[in-house]
């Protein structure tokens, strides 16, 4: 198996198509195809979920509505930073993306009419780096340099700690590496206040504990994919009973962390957080029960529920942040 660390130099070495080649890359790629492919490399659905956590955090930090300009700068800058990290991740992981059915249609590995992929590896790497530079400058110059530094920290952590360091080596990959997805709340808080305060740390913790149940549920569904690519996700190396038990542990930790925000966000938020937590835990227990009974785990029920849970939790944060009442 090609190691992630060796992927970096390999891409540039074979990037250029031969002169006169019949490959689709030899002068036949339309600008629209290139644009669509580069956009797909940024994993826009993941970016959307990250931004869902950023805006409510900004509202909570300001106890109301920040300026539209600051919101726009922070969301666009955050999207650029996340797109940079995701694109570089696709560049490094293109060898395993080609093996896994779930990722085999990504632009760096999907073949067009039996020819080459739509995007050359070197192009993807350059695009990812440019997005990261643009994010840094936008956040630093138009918001503040603390928010820019935090966005850069998330990018570097995702690329070097998770993708290159942990993903192919340990079943704890998503537990530690998933911290990269927690940084948007710190970026949003810092953009508004110029510092990081304890409520932002609590929100960081919420997403940190939410990430393993979310991704382990997905990995249970695509266990064979990860196994074929030799990626040691927990469902690949542990029995379903172990995975279900750990999902429950992290789910309880997540719900407890959401309640730690109640003194700052208010009692109305607490009601929503408690109700949503029960909803999440009920499905986590149901999945464990199915596993214990030897039935299909149906992990995608928890996976999809986890997305709705996080979205609704942060909607509650946003609403309670702008309400004139409901605070202690």
Q: Are residues 125 and 43 in the same domain?
A: yes
The pLDDT tens digits for 255-266 are 999 999 999 999
Contact 92, 7 (CB under 8 A): yes
Q: Are residues 181 and 201 in the same domain?
A: no
pLDDT of residue 68: 97
pLDDT of residue 247: 98
Q: Are residues 241 and 308 in the same domain?
A: yes
With bands split at pLDDT 50, 70 and 90, how would you rate the model's confidence at 2?
very low
Question: In whole angstroms, what is the distance from residue 55 CA to residue 47 CA?
Answer: 13
Confirm whether 66 is domain-assigned.
yes
The pLDDT tens digits for 221-245 are 999 999 999 999 999 999 999 999 9
Q: Are residues 257 and 222 in the same domain?
A: yes
Determine which of 35-49, 119-133, 234-248 has the lowest per-residue pLDDT on average.
35-49
User: What average pLDDT does the chain have?
Assistant: 90
Cβ neighbours of residue 263 under 8 Å, at least 6 residues apart?
328
Q: Are residues 66 and 206 in the same domain?
A: no
The pLDDT tens digits for 129-173 are 999 999 999 999 999 999 999 999 999 999 999 999 999 999 999
Specify the CATH number for the domain of residue 180.
1.10.357.140
pLDDT at 189 over 70: yes
Q: Are residues 156 and 218 in the same domain?
A: no
Question: In whole angstroms, what is the distance from residue 200 CA to residue 269 CA?
Answer: 15
Q: Are residues 60 and 45 in the same domain?
A: yes
Specify the CATH number for the domain of residue 284.
1.20.120
* Dihedral (CA of 80, 143, 75, 178) sign: positive
Q: What tokens appear for 241 in the block?
A: 């009973």
From the list 162, 156, 160, the residue with the least C-alpha distance to 177 is 162
Q: Which residue has the higher pLDDT, 31 or 326?
A: 31
Confirm whether 119 is domain-assigned.
yes
pLDDT at 216 over 80: yes
Q: Domain boundary residue among 177, 194, 211?
A: 194
Indicate whether this model's pTM tops 0.85.
yes
Q: Domain boundary residue among 140, 171, 194?
A: 194
Q: Partners of 117 in the beta sheet? A: 111
Domains: count for the chain = 2
Q: Domain boundary residue among 136, 165, 194?
A: 194
Confirm whether 10 is domain-assigned.
no
Q: Are residues 249 and 260 in the same domain?
A: yes
pLDDT at 111 over 90: no
3-class DSSP state of 205: helix
pLDDT of residue 110: 78
**Domain range spanning residue 289?**
197-328
Q: Are residues 154 and 241 in the same domain?
A: no
């Amino acid at each position: 198996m090609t190691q992630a660390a060796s992927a970096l130099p390999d891409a540039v070495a074979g990037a250029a198509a031969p002169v006169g080649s019949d490959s689709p890359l030899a002068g036949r790629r339309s600008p629209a195809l290139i644009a669509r492919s580069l956009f797909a490399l940024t994993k826009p659905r993941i970016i959307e979920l990250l931004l869902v956590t950023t805006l409510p955090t900004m509202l909570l930090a300001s106890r109301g509505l920040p300026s539209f300009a600051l919101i726009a700068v922070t969301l666009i800058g955050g999207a650029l930073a996340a797109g940079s990290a995701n694109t570089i991740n696709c560049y490094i992981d293109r060898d395993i993306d080609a093996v896994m059915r779930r990722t085999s249609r990504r632009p760096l590995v999907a073949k067009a009419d039996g020819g080459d992929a739509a995007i050359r590896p070197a192009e993807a790497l350059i695009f990812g780096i440019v997005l990261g530079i643009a994010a840094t400058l936008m956040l630093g110059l138009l918001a503040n340099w603390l928010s820019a530094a935090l966005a850069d920290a998330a990018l570097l952590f995702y690329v070097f700690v998770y993708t290159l360091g942990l993903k192919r080596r340990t079943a704890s990959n998503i537990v530690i590496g998933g911290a990269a997805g927690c940084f948007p709340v710190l970026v949003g808080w810092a953009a508004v206040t110029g510092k990081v305060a304890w409520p932002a740390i609590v929100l960081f913790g919420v997403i940190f504990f939410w990430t393993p149940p979310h991704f382990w549920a997905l990995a249970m569904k695509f266990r064979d994919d990860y196994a074929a690519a030799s990626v040691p996700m927990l469902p690949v190396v542990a029995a379903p009973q172990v995975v279900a038990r750990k999902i429950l542990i992290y789910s309880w930790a997540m719900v407890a962390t959401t309640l730690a925000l109640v003194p700052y966000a208010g009692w109305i938020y607490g009601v929503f957080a408690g109700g949503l937590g029960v909803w999440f835990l009920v499905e986590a227990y149901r999945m464990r029960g199915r596993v214990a009974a030897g039935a299909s785990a149906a992990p995608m029920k928890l996976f999809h529920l986890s997305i709705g849970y996080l979205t609704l939790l942060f909607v509650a944060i946003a609403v309670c942040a702008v309400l004139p009442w409901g605070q202690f």
